[in-house]
Amino acid sequence: MTLTADPVRRSGTPIVEPGLPVAGLTAGLCGVLAVAALGGRYGLAAGLTAAQGLTAVGWFRLHGMWPARQGIAAVALAGVLADLAVLTHGATGLLGVLGTYLVAVLVWQTFRPSDPAERFYALTVLASGVVLAGLEASLLLGGHTPAALLAVAVTVLLAASPAPAAVATAAALLLGATAGVLAGGPPVQAVLVTVGALVGRRVASYDFPSRFVHFTAGVVLPVAVAAPLGWIGSALPL
């Protein structure tokens, strides 16, 4: 993995939010995953594999590490293994795969010949990417998946509206959660995935992201962050 610095000096806010086209793609991804879920857990796992690959690409590019082919492949593989672990052993398998994989990543990066500062940064990005892609597999564990995905789709579309930021965020929180509840999801799950979608969108907006970042990380991070929150929300007795 190589770390490349951006030679262009910029001024002003480093926050550049994804626009409505990106939000539309996120909503489309939610729709694809919801349809895939109709085929059961294996159908949803097939759709998740593509989303996890997109997560790997966008995550490294968001952090200025490109092409980082080995790191991208490692994160994508972590997502696939997490999916398989959930399908075969449930939540225990997911936690086991993530724990083992993170230890392997730590060993790999510790003994990789490179500058120590670069090695630490690469380890941080790689480990966080593994956790992010791995926890996307929790979408296979949570209940009311189509309702949760609908809440994410509505949230990102409203957040990208041309209204003032405060108004758009409030509308996204309220109407996104309402959509999830009306679709049959538990209220606490609807609220959590709505918050997760906004957090994922905000992360993809940070540090002068390029359009490539927006159309990779910006598309998939709302789903990636919302997935484990949806799992938690569906498990709570509320």
Torsion of CA 93, 98, 99, 100, to 10 degrees: 90
Cα–Cα distance between 120 and 168 in angstroms, integer?
Answer: 38
SS (H, E, C) 21-90: HHHHHHHHHHHHHHHHHCCHHHHHHHHHHHHHHHHHHHHHHHCCECCCHHHHHHHHHHHHHHHHHHHHHH
Cα–Cα distance between 102 and 131 in angstroms, integer?
Answer: 8
Give the per-residue pLDDT at 215: 95
Q: pLDDT-based confidence at 6, cuts 50/70/90?
A: very low
Q: 9 CB contacts (<8 Å, ≥6 apart)?
A: none
Give the per-residue pLDDT at 39: 86
Q: pLDDT-based confidence at 8, cuts 50/70/90?
A: very low
Residue closest to 30 by CA, chosen among 153, 138, 175, 201? 153
pTM for the complete prediction?
A: 0.91
Could you tell me where the DSSP H helices lie in the chain? 20-37, 40-62, 69-110, 116-136, 145-159, 165-182, 187-203, 211-214, 217-235
Cα–Cα distance between 60 and 217 in angstroms, integer?
Answer: 9
pLDDT, tens digit (0-9, with 9 covering 90-100), for 71-105: 999 999 999 999 999 999 999 999 999 999 999 99
Give the per-residue pLDDT at 10: 55
User: 41: exposed, middle or buried (C-beta count within 10 Å: 0-12, 13-18, 19+)?
Assistant: middle
Q: pLDDT-based confidence at 68, cuts 50/70/90?
A: confident
Angle at 32 between CA 70 and CA 192, to 5 degrees: 85
Cα–Cα distance between 163 and 47 in angstroms, integer?
Answer: 32
Q: Is 172 within 8 Å of 158 (Cβ atoms)?
A: yes
Q: 198 CB contacts (<8 Å, ≥6 apart)?
A: 155, 159, 169, 172, 173, 222
pLDDT, tens digit (0-9, with 9 covering 90-100), for 154-211: 999 999 999 999 999 999 999 999 999 999 999 999 999 999 999 999 999 987 788 9
Give the per-residue pLDDT at 238: 65
Give the per-residue pLDDT at 5: 38
Report the share of the chain in percent with pLDDT over 70: 93
Residue type, 233: G
- 2 pLDDT higher than 50: no
